[in-house]
Amino acid sequence: MSHHRVTIVLSQAQGKNPAKRALEESLVAALIMEPGLDVSVIPYLYDIDEEHTGRLFLESVQGDMVVLSWLFPRAAFWLLDRDGIKGHWGETQLKPAADENEDEDETTVEPEPAKGIGALHVADRHIYCLDLRDFNAPDPYLVEIRRIADECRTRQHAKAKPVLVDLNLNLNGQANGASSPAFTPEQLLQTPGRRWYPVIDYSRCTNCLECLDFCLFGVYGVDQFDRIVTENQDQCKKGCPACSRVCPEHAIMFPEYKTPAIAGAPVGAIGGLKIDLSKLFGGDVKDALAQAVDERDRELVADGRQAVGMAVGIPKRQADKPDQPKDDLDKLMDALDDLNL
Ligand code: SF4
Ligand code: SF4
């Protein structure tokens, strides 16, 4: 069986930046010529909510998927997971130019096995997320997408299960001429309103629930298995990243936040993260907490509520944490401390 198809979803940038649009358009033009790929375009992934046709389309995709977006891959992957669009993490070999010397860098931290609680009900397919900010030209993406499509086909053949029905219907017919009328490009591309909410990386999250205690705006809850979940995403306060500073595992991402470490930059990419981490944590967990408390108080007051300072929902992690094995981000912070930044 060689008809295993791979769905490519291109998520557009917010706004109308001509350089970004040009890259998006040249990618789509090239991809629709590639055999075995179904190509669809949706608006900015982070902004589409459950009512949006783009979300319905994503939910309808059954097989392996490559998502091209203007987001860090970790943020894109875990926001899809939160929205029920699940799969195994597809490892990309696409490396932004800035990372190329990483291997020679003595301070590079070896990635360690994830200690988080992981995702639930992961579908039997892979989702690869590529960051459109890595290159200005389409070629590196096209090369990587071809490699991924081969990898998916090889994996599919190895499973050697008879395929009875090709579930991979192309529902956005326009891109490559298939005929399903289910979602028109006009519906798919309706501009969504802008959103702001935390995204949890469950490969890091240990379900300590400190974010649940800390947030006083009802954003977090637990699911039927008592696992932390962003229950009321849109109750989060626009621009505020407070709880990401409180999470002991750095598992909470705000994809739109200016600091890459909070926006979901790859963990272990020391070159890119060095300065951001020193800013984020100030070499001192207490600074991050103080900052988070200030940010939270500001939002409480803006809501006409009382500031609470350190009196409510402050993590006990300084007392509880020392026994845990250090992971790469912790080591990185130690290394930064040693440098006296
Ligand atoms: S604070 Fe972080 S590690 Fe703890 S439950 Fe929240 S996201 Fe998970
Ligand atoms: S940023 Fe603030 S409002 Fe949003 S989830 Fe975190 S603590 Fe709650």
**Domains of the chain, first to last:** 6-87+122-188 (3.40.50), 199-338 (no CATH)
Residue closest by Cα to atom 4 of ligand 2:
236
**What pLDDT score does 312 carry?**
92
Lowest mean pLDDT among 69-78, 172-181, 291-300: 172-181
Residue 249 in contact with ligand 1 by CB distance below 6 A? yes
- Mean pLDDT of all residues in 81-95: 95
Does residue 4 or residue 171 have the better pLDDT? Answer: 4
Q: Which atom of ligand 1 is nearest to the CA of 116?
A: 3
Residue 150 token pair: 């081969």
Distance from the alpha carbon of residue 219 to the mean position of ligand 2, in angstroms: 7
Mutate to test the pocket of ligand 2, among 240, 245, 253, 295 (most ligand atoms within 8 A of CB): 240
Ligand 1 within 6 A of 243 CB? no
Residue 159 — pLDDT band, cuts 50, 70, 90? confident
> Of 89, 79, 116, which Cα lies nearest the Cα of 236?
79
Query: Which is more confident, 226 or 172?
Result: 226
Cβ 215 under 6 angstroms from ligand 1: no
Ligand 2 closest atom vs CA 292: 7
Q: Band the pLDDT of 163: cuts 50, 70, 90.
A: low
How far, in Å, from the CA of 218 to the mean position of ligand 1? 15
**Is the pLDDT higher at 325 or at 158?**
158
The β-bridge partners of 67 are 9, 129
Q: Please give the distance, rounded to the nearest whole angstrom, from the Cα atom of residue 105 to the centre of ligand 1.
A: 31
State yes or no: pLDDT of 317 exceeds 60.
Answer: no
Q: Which of residues 115 and 192 earns the better pLDDT score? A: 192
Query: For the segment 193-232, what is each residue's pLDDT rounded down to a tens digit?
Result: 999 999 999 999 999 999 999 999 999 999 999 999 999 9
Judged on CB neighbours under 10 Å (0-12, 13-18, 19+), 30 is: middle
37 forms beta bridges with 6
Of residues 322 and 86, more confidence is placed in: 86
Q: Taking a C-beta distance cutoff of 8 angstroms, is the pair 48, 54 a contact?
A: yes
Tell me the pairing of strands 220-222 and 228-230: antiparallel
- Among 42-56, 147-161, 207-221, 267-281, the range scoring the smallest mean pLDDT is 267-281
**CB of 205 closer than 6 A to ligand 1?**
yes
Residue predicted with more confidence, 56 or 159? 56
Percent pLDDT > 90 in the chain is: 65
Ligand nearest to the CA of 312: 2
Could you report the per-residue pLDDT of 91-143, keeping only the tens digit for each?
A: 999 987 665 554 444 444 555 566 899 999 999 999 999 999 999 999 999 99
User: Is residue 335's pLDDT more than 90?
Assistant: no
For ligand 2, whether the C-beta of 242 sits within 6 Å is: yes
pLDDT at 295 (0 to 100): 95
Asked whether 237 lines ligand 2 (CB < 6 A), one says yes
Residue 179 confidence (pLDDT) above 70: no
Residue nearest to atom 6 of ligand 2 (CA): 243
CA of 18 relative to ligand 1 center, distance in Å: 38
- Which one is predicted more confidently, 282 or 339? 339
* pLDDT for the residue numbered 161: 60
Compute, in angstroms, the gap from residue 60 CA to the centroid of ligand 1: 30
